[in-house]
Amino acid sequence: MRNRNRIAAAAVAMTSIVAVALTGCSSGSSSADGGVGPITFASGKDLTGAMPQLIDMWNKKHPDQKVTFIELSASPDDQRNSFIQDFQAKSGKYDVLWDDVVWTSEFAAHGWLQPLDAAKVGSDAVLPAAVASATYEGKMYGAPFMTNAGLLYYRSDLVKTPPTTWAELEADCKIAKANNMDCYAGQFNQYEGLTVNVAEAINSAGGSFLSKDGKTVTVDSPEARAGLQHLVDMFKNGDINKAAITYQEQESANAFLDGKAMFLRNWPYVYTAASADDSKIKGKFAMAQLPGQDALGVSSLGGINLGVSAYSKHKKTAEAWVQWMQSTEAQKILVSVMNQASVLSALYTDPDLVKVSPYLPTLQKSELTAVPRPQTPNYNAVSLAIQKNSYAALQGKVSVDAAITQMAADITQALK
Amino acid sequence: MTVTIDRAAKARRPRRPAEARESDGRLAFWLVIPSIVVLGLVILYPVIASIVRSMFGDGIGESPFVGLQNYANALWGLGAADFWGATGFTYFVAAVTIVLETLIGLAMALVMNRAFKGRGILRASVLVPWAIPTAVAAVLWKWAFDPAGIINALTGSTIVWTGSEIPSTIAIIVADTWKTAPFIALLILAGLQVIPDEVYEAAKIDGAGAWQRFLRITLPLVRPALLVAVLFRMLDALRMYDLPWIFTHGSNGTTTLSILVVQSTLSQLKPGYGGALATLTFVFIFVTAYFFVRVLGVNAVESVGGERKERKR
C-alpha cells in the first residue's frame, strides 16, 4: 500500500512538473523600470555579417540598454512563423523584430505591434513609399529600416537607350532574337516573386488590387487585364522563355549573368555579381527604371520595417533603438557595409556612396514611385490568389479575362 | 524488461498464483502510467485541441464557435475545389508511387537476397536514396528536372518539368519512387530472409520451376512483410509534404493535403479552418489504413488457415 502511494505521488509530481513547464513560460511581469532596459532584436539571417557592428555601436553608447541580437532563419516564411509563435505566446522574447513590409498590416491588425510616433520614425527625410509600407489604418507600426525596389537590368552593349514603355521593350526584343538570346526575364514561378512581378505589371498599367483602405477588391478592371496581358503576350511570343515559368530571383539572375537574357527585372543585389571581376557581362550592362504601359512603370516595394512588440517589457528602449537604426549614422553602415538600400532620401545622392553603387540615383527614382503590395492583414491569402490565377494565365491555361475575374473572386474570399 | 518480469512471475507463480498475478498487474499499471501520460500529452492532447479548435472561426480578435462550418467549407463550401483537388492529387500520387515502389522494391529485394560477390556493397548502395533526407533529395531532383538540367540534356527534350501539371506530377512520382523504393526493398528483404531454404529445395525436387517457386513460395511467404511495407508507405505517401513543396510550391495542381493544411494554418493564420483540414486528413488516412488492414489483413490470415485445413484433409 505504502509503495503504491509513493509511486502515485511520484506520478502526480511528474505530471505537475510537466504542467508547470508547459505553462510557466507564459507568465510575465509588468515593468517597474519605465520601459527602459536591455532588449532583444530578432532579425532574419544576417547574410552581410554587419549587424553585430551596428549593434555594438549602440551598445557602447547605451551600456544600460544593451541590445541582444537574435538571428533567425534565412527563410522569410520561417521568420514570420517564429514571430507569430512569439506573439501568440505573448512572451515578449523578441522586443524588436525585423518585419517584412508585407507583414506589417497583419501584425498590426492582430494588435501585436506597438504603434510608433510618426513624427519620429516617418519624417520627411524618409522615403514616402517606405513610410506608407509601415502604415496601417493611419498609424505607423514600424520604423522603415531598409527598402527595395525592382529595376530593369539591360545589356548596354546591345541596347543603347533603355526602353521606357512596353512597346519599346518589345521592339528591342528583335535585337535579342538577332543575338540568339531571350529577351526578358523576371520571376514567374508560383511564389511571392510572382506577386511582385504581376503587381508591377498591373500597377504600371494603372490597375490596382485593393482600395486604399484595403477593404474593397479593385482588380476586376480593364487596366489590370492590360497589365497581365502584357506578361502573357511576352510568354506567348517567346520574348520570355517558357522556362522562366520556373524562375525565382536567382534563376532569373543567372539567365542574365550567363548572357542568356537581354533584359532582367530584379532587385538591386544582382549588381554585385554582374559587376564582379569574373562576370561575363561586366561593363556590358546598366540599370534603369522598369518600363510601363505608356510611360515608365512602377515597381513593387520591398524592404524591412523594424517593429516593436506589443509584449515588450522595455518599449522605451525599443522605440529609441528603432529610431537610432534609422539615423544617418546607422543607415550609412547599411548602405556601405551591408550593401542595402537606405530609407533616407539624402543617402542616394551621397557622392561617396554613389561611387560604390552607381545605380543609387536610378534606384531612388524607382523607389519614389514604388507602390506597396496590397496592404491587408490577410496578405498571404491575397498573395496566393494573385499567384495562382496569374500563373494559370501565364501558362496559357486560362484567358487573361477569366484569370482576372477569378482573381477578384479569390481575393474577395481571402479578405473574409 | 519483459523477460525479467516474466521470469520473476514464473518463479513466484507456483507459490501464490492469484496474489502474484494481482501484484504484477498493479506494478505493470504503475510502470505503464508514465508512458501513457507522456503519450497523452504529446499525441492525445494536440489531436483533441486541434479538433476543438476546428470548431471555432478564424479572424482577428476573438474566434466565435462555428460548429462544423469549417468542415462544411472544406467539403462542399468555398474551399471544396482546393480540398478535393488536393485529395485527388494526394491519393493519385500515393497509389502510383506505391505500385511502382512495391514492384521495384520487390525486384531489388530478390536481387539482394541472392548470395553473390559484392552483395554487401550492393545492399549498402541501394539504401543510399533512403538515407538521404527527403528535402535534400527533392533539391537534387529539382536540379535534375531543371529545364537546363541533366534529364533534358540526356533525353534531348525541352520540357519545363516543374512548369505544368503532368510533367510536375511525373517528376514528383519519379523522385518519390527513387527515394522510397529502397525502404520497401529493405522490409521485403527482411521477410525473404526468414523463408527457409528447405522449402525451395523441396519444391525443386518436386519439379517446380523458378517462376512457380516465386509465385507459390516466395510471394505467399513474404506477403506479411510486403503488406506491412505497403501500409507504412501508404501512411507516409498520404501525408506527403516536402517533395511537392520544394518542387513546385504546390503550383500546377500539386498541392497535397498536408500542403493545404500548412498553407491554411501557418501561412494564412486560419487555425480553425486548418484544424478542420488536418482532422479531415487524419480521418481520411485512418479510414484508408483501416480498410487496407481489414481487407488485406483478414484475407491473409484466412488464406493461411484455409491452406492448413486443406492440408489436414
CATH number at residue B122: 1.10.3720.10
- For the segment A379-387, the average pLDDT, to the nearest whole number, is 95
What pLDDT shows up at residue B18? Answer: 67
Query: What is the predicted pLDDT for the residue at A77?
Result: 86
- B82 and B186 fall within a common domain: yes
Provide the angle, in degrees to the nearest 10, between the axes of the packed helices A400-415 and A222-236: 130
pLDDT, greater one: B1 or B191: B191
Grid look-up 533529395 returns B137
pLDDT for A26: 37
**Residue B253: its chain A contacts at CB < 8 A?**
none
Residue B105 falls inside a structural domain: yes
Considering the domain architecture, whether residues B27 and B74 belong to the same structural domain is answered as no
Q: Which domain range does residue B11 map to?
A: 2-46
The one-letter code for the residue type at B282 is F
Higher confidence at residue A209 or residue A26? A209
Question: Does residue B32 sit in the same domain as residue B138?
Answer: no
pLDDT of residue B142: 92
Q: Which residues does chain A have within 8 Å of residue B37's beta carbon, measured at their own beta carbons?
A: 11, 14-15, 18
My answer on whether B31 and B143 are in the same domain is no
Which chain B residue has its CA at the smallest distance from A415's CA?
Answer: B59
Q: What is the band of B301 on the pLDDT scale with cuts at 50, 70, 90?
A: very low
Of A4, A378, A384, the CB nearest to B26: A4
The amino acid present at B253, given as its one-letter code, is G
pLDDT computed for residue A34 by the predictor: 82
Where do the domains of chain A lie, and which CATH numbers do they carry? 39-148+302-369 (3.40.190.10), 151-298+378-415 (3.40.190.10)
Residues B202 and B138 in one domain: yes
DSSP-derived pairing of the beta strands A143-149 and A139-140? unpaired
HSE-CB of B41 using CA atoms within 13 angstroms = 13
Same domain, B27 and B154: no
Beta-carbon separation of A191 and B160 below 8 A: no
Residues B42 and B112 in one domain: no
Find which of B31, B42, B45, B266 to mutate to test the A interface (most A CBs within 10 Å of its CB): B266
- The distance from CA B289 to its chain's CA centroid, rounded to whole angstroms, is 9
Task: Give residue A25's pLDDT band: very low, low, confident or very high (50, 70, 90).
Answer: very low
Centroid of chain to Cα B64: 36
Within 8 A of A4 by CB-CB distance, chain B residues are 26, 30
pLDDT for residue A394 is more than 60:
yes
Q: How far apart are CA A33 and CA B16, in angstroms?
A: 70
Cβ contacts of A391 on chain B, cutoff 8 Å: 251
Question: Smallest Cβ distance to A391: which of B26, B147, B251?
Answer: B251
- Is the Cβ pair B269, A246 closer than 8 Å? no
Do the beta carbons of residue A245 and residue A189 sit within 8 Å?
yes
* B53-89 confidence digits (pLDDT tens): 999 998 877 788 999 999 999 999 888 999 999 999 9
Residue of A8, A246, A378 lying closest to B162 (CB–CB): A246
Give B24 or A168, the one with higher predicted confidence: A168
Does one domain contain both B8 and B145? no
Chain A CB contacts of B269 below 8 Å: 84, 106, 380
How many residues comprise chain A?
416
Q: Quick one: CA dihedral A259, A260, A262, A267, positive or negative?
A: negative
pLDDT at A298 over 80: yes
* Alpha carbon distance A76, A248 (integer Å): 14
What is the grid cell recorded at A90?
Answer: 505573448
- Closest Cβ opposite residue A18 in set B41, B147, B252: B41
Contacts of B41 in chain A (CB under 8 A): 18
Residue of A nearest to B147 (CA): A243
How many C-beta atoms surround the C-beta of residue B61 within 10 A?
A: 8
Backbone angles phi, psi at A287, to 5 degrees: -125, 140
CB distance A175 to A159 below 8 Å: yes
Backbone phi and psi for residue A21, each to the nearest 5 degrees, phi listed first: -60, -35
Average pLDDT of chain A is 89
Q: Checking DSSP bridges between strand A143-149 and strand A301-308, what pairing results, if any?
A: antiparallel
The beta-carbon neighbor of B60 closest among A4, A18, A377 is A377
pLDDT category, A75, cuts 50, 70, 90?
confident
Q: Which amino acid is at A41?
A: F
Residue B302's pLDDT band, with cuts at 50, 70 and 90, is very low
C-beta separation of A293 from A176 below 8 A:
no
Which residue among A246, A387, A414 sits closest to B160, beta carbon to beta carbon? A246
How does pLDDT run across B131-180, given as a tens digit for each residue?
Answer: 999 999 999 999 999 988 999 999 998 889 988 899 999 999 999 999 99
CB atoms B26 and A14 under 8 Å: no
Of B268, B276, B286, B260, nearest to B53 by C-alpha is B276
In the DSSP assignment, the letter for residue A287 is: E
Residue A297 has pLDDT above 90, yes or no: yes
CB A293 within 8 Å of CB A165 = yes
Q: List C-alpha distances in Å: A260 to A155, A256, A406, B158.
A: 11, 6, 34, 16
Q: How far is B260 from chain A (nearest CA, A)?
A: 12
Task: State the Cα–Cα distance between residues A56 and A38, nearest whole angstrom.
Answer: 13
B37 and B135, same domain (yes or no):
no
State the SS3 of A221-269: CHHHHHHHHHHHHHHHCCCCCHHHHHCCHHHHHHHHHCCCEEEEEECCC
Q: Are B268 and A109 in contact (CB < 8 Å)?
A: no
Contacts of A409 in chain B (CB under 8 A): none
C-alpha distance from A169 to closest chain B C-alpha (Å): 25
Q: How many whole angstroms separate alpha carbon A244 and alpha carbon A265? A: 12
Q: Say if residue B233 is in the same domain as residue B129.
A: yes
Residues B208 and B104 in one domain: yes
Alpha helices in B114-218 (DSSP H): 119-126, 128-131, 134-144, 150-155, 165-193, 197-205, 210-213
Asked if B35 and B106 sit in the same domain, the reply is no
Specify the higher pLDDT residue, B85 or A30.
B85
Enter the C-alpha cell of residue A21: 513547464
A221-236 pLDDT per residue, tens: 999 999 999 999 999 9
Higher pLDDT: B22 or A161? It is: A161
What are the grid coordinates assigned to A397, written together? 491555361
Residue A374 near residue A382 (C-beta atoms within 8 A): yes
Q: Which one-letter amino acid corresponds to residue B36?
A: I
Give the ipTM of the model, two decimals please: 0.80
The total domain count for chain B is 2
| pLDDT bracket for residue A29 (50, 70, 90) | very low
Whether B61 is in a domain gets the answer no
Looking at the domain assignment, is residue B60 inside a domain?
A: no
Interface contacts (A, B; CB < 8 Å): 60
pLDDT tens digits for range A322-376: 999 999 999 998 888 887 889 999 999 989 889 888 999 999 999 999 999 999 9
Give the pLDDT mean for B4-26: 62
Q: How far apart are CA B162 and CA B182, in angstroms?
A: 25
